Amino acid sequence: MARFRLLADEHQARSPLRQLWREFARQHSAVAGLALFSAFFVLAIIAPLLTPHAPYLQNDNLLLLPPSWSELGLVQYPFGTDDLGRDMFSRFLVGTRYTFGIAVITVLGALIAGLLLGTLAGMSRGVKSSVFNHILDLALTIPSLLLAIIIVAILGPGLLNTIWAIMLALLPQFVHGVRNAIAEQLNQDYVIAYRLDGANNLQVFRRIILPNIWERLTVTATMALSTAILDIAALGFLGLGAQAPTAEWGAIIADSLDLIYVAPIGVALPGLLIFLAVLSVNLVGDGLRTAVKKRREN
């Protein structure tokens, strides 16, 4: 491929975002993943409006109702009820908010904190940045579940406390990513040219660094999101995260585990939902990664 072109062709004249979308839309699996991801996202926002029954309302007359496709089931309760007479379908819907929605918030928090710390580390030099790096390396080596165990031991179990643990576990990869990307950008000629024009650090960061690293950040964020969903569900399942009545998918599985012979759907479906949520995130992440690579090659 020629290195320089005098006339930009139509494809190159598009904005980077549109080029990215073009490459992304070519991959069917990625688009399917995006559709699924959007569905989960919308569900996480409007789930309380869609639930046919209150997810925490216990109905003594309808304990362990089978799903509606069995002969004993009721059509009002599509997936039946659990051992306390709560509607499964409503609980699954609301669970989207906990497992998926909170994972998104956690990743956003880690992203913002990582961007701040990574920028500080990337822009500073010398001993300060070296010490900072080693502390990060330490944080990177503590397994996320162990970190969660320690935080739960100090603060007690609960969804909010485990969120801190997961955020802390996700943080190093963001800081590392941002720091490396910034170090790479600062060596570019256009940064020096911009500095010679009199730009200060803040301007360099806003006008040059940020537009150049957001693609990579998005890819890191999707990878982190899949980890966050899996961690929240696993901690809920172990009883360290979301506590019993909360309709978090992992906690629902733990609740229904002793009824697995009577009502296998309570274990099967939330697991499937977790799997689908993570799958959609991974498909989007893979698609984005490929699209970014192809766009840069063009």
Partner 1 sequence: MTLYLLRRLFLLAFVLLALSLLAFSLAYMFPGDMLQNLTGLRYIAPEQVAVLTAEYRLDQGYLAQYIAYLQRILSGNWGLSFASQQPLLQEIGLLLPATLELAAYALLISFFAGIPLGIIAAVKPEGVISKGISALAITGYSMPVFWWALLLIMLFSLGLGWLPTAGRIGVLYEVKHVTGFMLMDILLSDSAHRNDALLNALRHMLLPTLVLATYPTTVMIRFTKDSMLEVWEQSYIKTARAKGLNRLQVLYRHGLRNALLPVIRQIGLQFSTLITLAMITEVIFSWPGIGRWLIDSIYQRNYPAIQAGLLVISTLVISVNMLTEILHTLFNPLARKR
Please check whether residue 7 is in contact with residue 257, taking contact to mean a CB–CB distance below 8 angstroms. Answer: no
Does 282 participate in binding partner 1 (rule CB under 8 A)? Answer: yes
What letter would DSSP give residue 248?
-
Closer CB to partner 1, 174 or 237, in the complex? 237
Rg of the chain over all Cα atoms, to the nearest angstrom: 23
Does 3 participate in binding partner 1 (rule CB under 8 A)? Answer: no
Lookup: tokens for 259: 């009824």
Closer CB to partner 1, 62 or 149, in the complex? 149
Least distance CB 47 / partner 1 (angstroms): 20
Residues 151-190 that bind partner 1 (CB under 8 A): 152-154
Does 265 participate in binding partner 1 (rule CB under 8 A)? Answer: no
Least distance CB 233 / partner 1 (angstroms): 6
Size of the site for partner 1 (CB under 8 A): 40
Binding mask 125-154 for partner 1 (x = CB under 8 A): ---------xx-xx-xxxxxxx--xx-xxx
Residues 230-259 that bind partner 1 (CB under 8 A): 230, 233-234, 237-240, 250, 253, 257
Sign of the CA dihedral running 96, 101, 102, 104? positive
What letter would DSSP give residue 199?
-
Does 32 participate in binding partner 1 (rule CB under 8 A)? Answer: no
DSSP secondary structure, 26-89, as one string: T-HHHHHHHHHHHHHHHHHHHHHHH-SS-TT---TTSTTPPPTTSTT--TTSTT-B-TT--BHH
Closer CB to partner 1, 245 or 271, in the complex? 271
Least distance CB 182 / partner 1 (angstroms): 19
Sign of the CA dihedral running 71, 74, 80, 82? negative
Lookup: tokens for 282: 């991974």
Binding mask 82-101 for partner 1 (x = CB under 8 A): --------------------
Least distance CB 235 / partner 1 (angstroms): 10
For residues 183 and 224, give the distance between their C-alpha atoms in angstroms, rounded to a whole number.
22
Closer CB to partner 1, 81 or 280, in the complex? 280
Tell how far CA 298 is from the center of its chain. Answer: 29
Closer CB to partner 1, 48 or 264, in the complex? 264
Please check whether residue 216 is in contact with residue 285, taking contact to mean a CB–CB distance below 8 angstroms. Answer: no
For residues 244 and 207, give the distance between their C-alpha atoms in angstroms, rounded to a whole number.
48
- Interface with partner 1 by CB under 8 A: which residues? 134-135, 137-138, 140-146, 149-150, 152-154, 226-227, 230, 233-234, 237-240, 250, 253, 257, 260, 264, 267, 271, 274-275, 278-279, 281-283, 286
